[in-house]
Amino acid sequence: MTDLTDVLDFVDANLERSLERLFELIRIPSISTEAQYGADCRRAAQWLADELGALDFASFVRDTAGHPMVVAHGPQASGPHVLFYGHYDVQPVDPLSLWTTPPFEPSLAPQPDGETFILGRGASDDKGQLLTFIEACRAFKAVTGSLPIRISMLFEGEEEAGSPSLSPFLEANADDLRADVILVCDTDMWDRHTPAITTMWRGFVSEEFTITAANRDLHSGMFGSAARNAVQLMGTVIGKLRYDDGSVAIPGFYDNVSELPASIKAQWDALPFDAERFLADVGLFVPAGESGRSVLEQIWARPTCEINGVWGGYTGDGFKTVIPAEAHAKLSFRLVAGQDPDHIRTSFRAFVQSLLPADCTATFRAYASAPAQTMPLDGALLGKARAALTEEWGVEAALAGTGGSIPILGEFKKRLGMDSLLVGFAHFDNRVHSPNEKYDLSSFHKGIRSWVRILAAFAE
In order, the DSSP letters of 143-180 are HHSS-SSEEEEEEES-GGGT-TTHHHHHHHTHHHH--S
pLDDT score recorded for residue 272: 87
Q: Which of 64-68, 205-209, 374-378 is the least confident region? A: 374-378
Confidence of residue 2 (pLDDT cuts 50, 70, 90): low
- Is residue 459 very low, low, confident or very high in pLDDT (cuts 50, 70, 90)? very high
Section 171-192 average pLDDT = 95
Q: What is the pLDDT of residues 250-293, one digit of tens each?
A: 999 999 999 988 888 898 888 889 999 999 989 999 989 999 99
| Reported confidence tier of residue 374, pLDDT bands at 50, 70, 90 | confident
pLDDT at 377: 83
The larger pLDDT score, comparing residue 345 to residue 270, is at 345
Whether residue 27 is predicted with pLDDT greater than 90 in this model: the reply is yes
Contact 370, 202 (CB under 8 A): no
Q: How far apart are CA 422 and CA 388, in angstroms?
A: 14
* Confidence check: pLDDT of 393 > 80: yes
420 DSSP β-pair partners: 182
438: closest CA among 132, 100, 134? 100
Summarised one tens digit per residue, pLDDT across range 195-204 is 999 999 999 9
Say which DSSP state 291 is in.
T
349-364 pLDDT per residue, tens: 999 999 999 999 999 9
For CATH 3.40.630.10, the residue range(s) in the chain are 2-201+374-459
Residue-wise pLDDT tens digits, 299-333:
999 999 999 999 999 999 999 999 999 999 999 99
Question: What kind and span of H or E run contains 258?
Answer: none
In the chain, CATH 3.30.70.360 covers 203-257+303-370
- Count the helix, strand and coil residues of the chain and give each as a percent rounded to the nearest 5: 35, 25, 40
pTM of the full predicted structure?
0.85
Read off the pLDDT band of 229 (50, 70, 90).
Answer: very high
pLDDT band at 448 (very low <50, low <70, confident <90, very high): very high
pLDDT of residue 405: 81
User: Which distant-in-sequence residues (6+ apart) come within 8 Å of 21 by Cβ?
Assistant: 51, 131, 135
CATH number of 2-201+374-459: 3.40.630.10
Alpha helices by DSSP H, listed for 173-325, are 174-177, 220-223, 230-239, 262-270, 275-280, 295-300
| pLDDT of 373 strictly over 80 | yes
Compute the residue count for the chain. 460
- Identify the CATH number of the domain defined by range 203-257+303-370: 3.30.70.360
Residue % of the chain over a pLDDT of 70: 100
- Among residues 140, 195, 181, 84, which one has the least CA distance to residue 452? 140
Rounded Cα distance between 11 and 446, Å, is 9
Mean pLDDT of 110-128: 97
d(CA 150, CA 451): 14
Q: Which residues contact 95 (CB under 8 A, 6 or more apart)?
A: 435
Q: Is the pLDDT of residue 237 over 70?
A: yes
pLDDT by residue (tens digit) across 53-102?
999 999 999 999 999 999 999 999 999 999 999 999 999 999 999 999 99
**Spatial CA neighbour of 137 closest among 16, 41, 18:** 18
CA-atom Rg of the chain in angstroms = 25
* pLDDT exceeds cutoff 90 at 141: yes
In this prediction, residue 271 carries a pLDDT of: 87
Give me the chain's average pLDDT, please. Answer: 95
Type of residue numbered 272: P
As a whole number of angstroms, the distance between CA 289 and CA 301 comes to 12
